[in-house]
């Protein structure tokens, strides 16, 4: 039998039910919010390199929470103990996007690692994986290349997914990424989300990328101030020495050189001096690729009365960079910006040289509407050109041969090139 005091107490509790309910709701809301912060409610996770791709990995993530964890948990796939690393926390440009970045060093080459953000993944499907690059070309290395990525989300999603099906070691992305023009942060949200959701290879392995700058990363497109006119490019992406032109060496088997075709650095001057030094240091590297945004041998945007290669950026590239590539030899130069498919003839000194000319591959049509290409009668520099969305899929082999395929969004291989030697032979450019 309950006492009248107990009954009165129970009545009080019932009368306070709405208060208790709202208190419970508040607790639930707080738990959800902190859960979001712990689970990061991520906008993007992406992998880049600032130094040796065989022994380091730079892990970046973006969310909207100033107070969420800076901690990365990682371990070699199959190891029992987790390691932690503290990320540096910055903002993307002047937006509220919160960027965290940590470079992991001392990693084992060609090894799969798993990682979680804020905490160790409870189950395998909670986390991600990355794989370091091999130190030697002990197995074929594959990468994809393209640029001009996102006229809209649907188009970038489709080609990012195509890249993931190919499961390459990394991607080389040559500018005009989110078409944010240094301003539109929400376009970066889409770009980052699309990469995180779609560009995941086998076994939840995120595909790392090396990145280049294009006109649509920069307020005004060209001659921008570093970093203010390309605030997202310079805050989202860690590159060697934080520059838009840099070299990455993959053991002795490959070097990749990113260049800035006039967006935040002049084509000539200090950049071309640096390129000369960078190439001289890499004479003994087996394969050597360069990638940049504006093409030397494009397919559209011809100035009045001229050809695409008469555009002032193209002329500057021919004057300042191509003699250096001819002098030291290169495997291929990836170009972008013109939104078409292009494979050039081999060219040297502005002429066809089928034996030892440079090879130009482009023209940036990852996820943008293609344009028109010159007719075969006009386009003497073009071996193949068509307005078609594509990416390049490159495979390098230890014997110095390579295969380059053009793959469209449906997965059709519509062009293919077999290289029988890794670089063009060094030739001193003709003096004018």
Q: Catalog residues that contact Fe ion under the rule CB under 5 A.
A: 148, 176, 214-215, 337
Buried b (16+ CB within 10 A) or exposed e, 216-238: bbbeebeebebbebbbbbbbbbb
C-alpha distance from residue 115 to each of 80, 193, 197, 246 (Å): 13, 18, 16, 27
**Cβ proximity to Fe ion, 253 vs 297, nearer residue:** 297
Query: Are the CB atoms for 30 and 72 separated by under 8 Å?
Result: no
State the maximum Cα–Cα separation within the chain, in Å, rounded to a whole number. Answer: 111
Q: How far is the CB of 299 from Fe ion (least distance, A)?
A: 12
**Cβ proximity to Fe ion, 128 vs 366, nearer residue:** 366
**Cβ proximity to Fe ion, 176 vs 326, nearer residue:** 176
Q: How far is the CB of 155 from Fe ion (least distance, A)?
A: 12
Q: How far is the CB of 263 from Fe ion (least distance, A)?
A: 9
| Cα angle, residue 126 at apex, residues 125 and 128 outer, rounded to 5° | 80
**Cβ proximity to Fe ion, 335 vs 415, nearer residue:** 335
CA neighbor of 340 nearest in space, from 307, 301, 306: 301
- What residue is closest to Fe ion based on CB? 176
Sign of the torsion formed by the C-alpha atoms of 136, 327, 339 and 152: positive
**Cβ proximity to Fe ion, 148 vs 229, nearer residue:** 148
Query: Are the CB atoms for 214 and 191 separated by under 8 Å?
Result: no
**Cβ proximity to Fe ion, 201 vs 364, nearer residue:** 364
Beta-bridge partner residues of 204: none
Both tokens assigned to 295: 């093409």
Q: How far is the CB of 261 from Fe ion (least distance, A)?
A: 9
Q: How far is the CB of 181 from Fe ion (least distance, A)?
A: 11
Q: Which residue has the tokens 């065989």?
A: 54
Neighbouring CB atoms inside 10 A of 350's CB total 13
> In the 3-class helix/strand/coil scheme, how is 10-48 assigned residue by residue?
HHHHHHCHHHHHHHHHHHHHHHHHHHHHHHCCCCEEEEE
Q: How far is the CB of 347 from Fe ion (least distance, A)?
A: 22
**Cβ proximity to Fe ion, 176 vs 408, nearer residue:** 176
**Cβ proximity to Fe ion, 195 vs 328, nearer residue:** 195
CA neighbor of 350 nearest in space, from 373, 323, 377: 323
Q: How far is the CB of 298 from Fe ion (least distance, A)?
A: 10
Q: How far is the CB of 177 from Fe ion (least distance, A)?
A: 9
Q: How far is the CB of 215 from Fe ion (least distance, A)?
A: 4
Residues 6+ apart with CB under 8 A from 157: 194, 197, 198, 367
Rounded to an integer, what is the distance from CA 334 to the centroid of its chain?
Answer: 14
What is the rounded distance in angstroms from the CA atom of residue 391 to the CA atom of residue 145? 6
**Cβ proximity to Fe ion, 325 vs 366, nearer residue:** 366
């Amino acid at each position: 039998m309950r006492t009248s005091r107990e009954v009165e107490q129970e009545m009080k509790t019932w009368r306070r039910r709405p208060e208790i309910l709202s208190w419970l709701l508040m607790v639930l809301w707080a738990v959800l919010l902190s859960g979001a912060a712990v689970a990061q409610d991520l906008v993007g996770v992406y992998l880049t390199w600032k130094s040796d791709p065989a022994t380091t990995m730079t892990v970046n993530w973006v969310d909207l929470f100033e107070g969420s964890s800076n901690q990365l948990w990682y371990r070699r796939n199959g190891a029992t103990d987790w390691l932690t690393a503290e990320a540096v926390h910055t903002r993307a440009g002047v937006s509220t996007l919160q960027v965290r970045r940590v470079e992991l060093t001392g990693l084992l080459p060609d090894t799969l690692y798993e990682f979680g953000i804020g905490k160790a993944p409870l189950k395998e499907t909670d986390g991600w994986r990355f794989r370091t690059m091999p130190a030697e070309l002990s197995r074929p290395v594959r990468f994809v290349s393209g640029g001009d990525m996102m006229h809209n989300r649907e188009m970038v999603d489709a080609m990012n997914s195509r890249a993931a099906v190919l499961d390459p070691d990394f991607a080389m992305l040559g500018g005009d990424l989110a078409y944010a023009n240094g301003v539109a942060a929400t376009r970066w949200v889409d770009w980052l989300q699309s990469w995180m959701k779609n560009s995941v290879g086998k076994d939840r392995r995120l595909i790392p990328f090396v990145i280049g700058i294009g006109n649509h990363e920069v307020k005004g497109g060209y001659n921008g101030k570093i970093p203010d006119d390309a605030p997202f490019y310079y805050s989202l992406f860690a590159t060697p020495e934080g520059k838009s032109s840099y070299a990455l060496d993959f053991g002795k088997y490959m070097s990749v050189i990113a260049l800035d075709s006039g967006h935040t650095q002049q084509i000539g001057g200090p950049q071309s001096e640096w390129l000369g030094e960078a190439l001289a240091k890499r004479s003994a590297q087996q394969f050597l690729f360069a990638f940049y945004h504006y093409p030397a041998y494009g397919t559209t945007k011809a100035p009045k009365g001229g050809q695409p290669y008469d555009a002032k950026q193209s002329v500057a590239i021919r004057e300042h960079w191509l003699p250096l590539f001819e002098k030291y030899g290169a495997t291929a130069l990836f170009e972008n910006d013109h939104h078409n498919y292009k494979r050039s003839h081999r060219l040297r000194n502005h002429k066809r040289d089928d034996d030892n000319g440079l090879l130009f591959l482009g023209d940036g049509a990852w996820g943008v509407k293609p344009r028109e290409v010159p007719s075969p009668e006009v386009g003497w520099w073009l071996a193949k050109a068509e307005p078609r969305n594509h990416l390049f899929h490159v495979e390098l082999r230890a014997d110095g041969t390579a295969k380059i395929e053009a793959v469209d969004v449906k997965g059709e291989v519509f062009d293919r090139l077999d290289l029988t030697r890794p670089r063009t032979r060094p030739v001193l450019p003709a003096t004018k």
